[in-house]
Structure 1
Amino acid sequence: MGDKSNSETARVGVYVDGFNLYYGLKSLSGRRDLWLDLVKMAQDLLRSGQRLERVMYFTTLVRADPPAVERQRAYLAALKAHGTDVVLGRFQEQLRKCRKCGATWRSYEEKKTDVAIASAMVADVALKQVDVVMLVSADSDLCGAVEKIREIDGFRGTKTRVVAVFPPGKSADGLRRCSDAWFPIGGAIVRRSQFPDVVSGLGDAVYHRPPHWN
């Protein structure tokens, strides 16, 4: 495929690390801007000569908090209704122990999300689905996937542009170094990329902004 000439349109794939973005948004404005339309935001991030090919959102379902479960369910439904592909990981239960007092408790660690993001990026490049990878994350563990993309490009004689997009208040030196470009998501783009309070789905389905996020 090679580098795109000025007359060609570069196809952009956007891959969003859900929890990384969630905590960035909370650090920016608490819960106010969590009702974020990722497709709208992605379109706002495009440069001239680029076309949005797909937006993928990677997250894990909330556990043991019924109100949070309902808020997340509404948000994921709104994302799907507006064209975002949602990919779910899982939490793995772990038994932890205090070294001082010997007390034990159960905790949950997010699993598979990084692997799913890496796999999706590499697969889309390998299958020639995208020309630009836009990674919304501040997790340098994903540099391994970027290195694999470089290997694919080297084998084919192509050049995939990799752009790291850091959630508000976050950054990662590793992603800065391994990407072709990087920039942070600013508060202005977050605010103008919010869903309306009521999002229409298929048929008569509607999804409401959770009051807790006002």
Structure 2
Amino acid sequence: MTIVRVYIDGFNVYHAIEQQGDPRLKWLNYWQLSQSLLRPGETLDAVHFFTAVWRFETTKQKRHENFIAALDAYGVQVHQGDFGKPKKWCATHERFCKFREEKQTDVGIAVRMLVDASGGQPQRMILVTADSDQIPTARALRQMDHISLTLAFPPGRAGEARELGELIPDRLELKPERLLTHQLPRSVHKDGRLVATMPAIYRR
């Protein structure tokens, strides 16, 4: 069997889903979605999900932690980065201001993929993002003959994924119709206990 691992840029997918206008898409079972990308003769070995919890608003933080607990219940390995406060030019105030910016996710994805590839497994990697910051990662992996690389970019992000797609010919768009068929249940249990519930704002 060909071993497959999936690497997901959580915020890149989230922001793409946000633009779709259907909140149900946010309650996504990434393990089942990853399984839907398998081909005959393949087995899913691991799903790595990279994100950072927004800790500056209690409601959003709890919702995010609830989602992480749901993913963990399905065997998704969640890697958490953080938010930094770099100073950038703010046109509104005409001065440099501190912005909250996600940190460590891009590097985390790159390191995890390169370490896994160097270890001899998997045989196929699926990168879920449209972020051009992963171009150096894709270039490095293309030099490894034992690795087959697939790009699965978020819905509506074909333009943003163009540069990555030029490096990764094996690519597909994760369309909303596919995402809707791989939702988490409204109540998620692990080891017989309730660990997460679908937020009311995600329901229709």
Match of residue 4 from structure 1: none
Change beyond 3 A, Cα 1:104–1:146 = closer
Q: CA offsets per residue over residues 129-170 of structure 1, 9 Å max, x none?
A: 20001000001221211221233x2xxxx3311111010111
Question: Between Structure 1 and Structure 2, whose CA radius of gyration is higher?
Answer: 1
Question: Identity over the aligned pairs, expressed in percent?
Answer: 30
Q: Normalization by structure 2: what TM-score? A: 0.92
Higher deviation after alignment, 198-207 or 121-130: 198-207
Distance 2:93 2:75 in 1: 50
What secondary structure does 1:57 align onto? Answer: strand
Match of residue 170 from structure 1: 157
Distance 2:67 2:60 in 1: 11
Q: Normalization by structure 1: what TM-score? A: 0.88
What secondary structure does 2:100 align onto? Answer: strand
Q: Which amino acid aligns with 1:27?
A: Q
Match of residue 55 from structure 1: 47
Give the counterpart of 1:208 among 194, 197, 200: 197
User: 1:36, 1:195 within 8 Å by CA — same for their partners in 2?
Assistant: yes
Higher deviation after alignment, 38-47 or 103-112: 103-112
Q: Does 1:198 align with 2:195?
A: no
User: 1:161, 1:180 within 8 Å by CA — same for their partners in 2?
Assistant: no
What secondary structure does 2:24 align onto? Answer: coil
Distance 2:119 2:110 in 1: 14
Give the counterpart of 2:110 among 108, 118, 122: 118
Change beyond 3 A, Cα 1:21–1:96 = same
Match of residue 6 from structure 1: none
Match of residue 159 from structure 1: 146
Distance 1:56 1:90 in 2: 17
Q: CA offsets per residue over residues 161-211 of structure 1, 9 Å max, x none?
A: 111101011131221111140110012210110011000023523310011
What secondary structure does 2:26 align onto? Answer: coil
Distance 1:182 1:62 in 2: 30
Distance 1:188 1:102 in 2: 43
Q: May I ask how many residue pairs the two structures share in their alignment?
A: 201
Distance 2:132 2:88 in 1: 26
Q: CA offsets per residue over residues 83-119 of structure 1, 9 Å max, x none?
A: 0000011110123454575456432111111100011
Query: Which segments of 5 or more consecutive residues in structure 2 lack a partner in the other structure?
Result: none
Higher deviation after alignment, 119-128 or 91-100: 91-100
What secondary structure does 1:149 align onto? Answer: helix
What secondary structure does 1:119 align onto? Answer: helix
Query: Which segments of 5 or more consecutive residues in structure 1 lack a partner in the other structure?
Result: 1-8
Q: Which amino acid aligns with 2:186?
A: D
**After the TM superposition, which residues 1-214 of structure 1 pair with which residues of structure 2 at under 5 Å, given as runs?**
9-98=1-90, 101-102=93-94, 105-151=97-143, 153=144, 158-171=145-158, 172-214=161-203
User: 1:201, 1:207 within 8 Å by CA — same for their partners in 2?
Assistant: no
Q: Which amino acid aligns with 2:168?
A: S
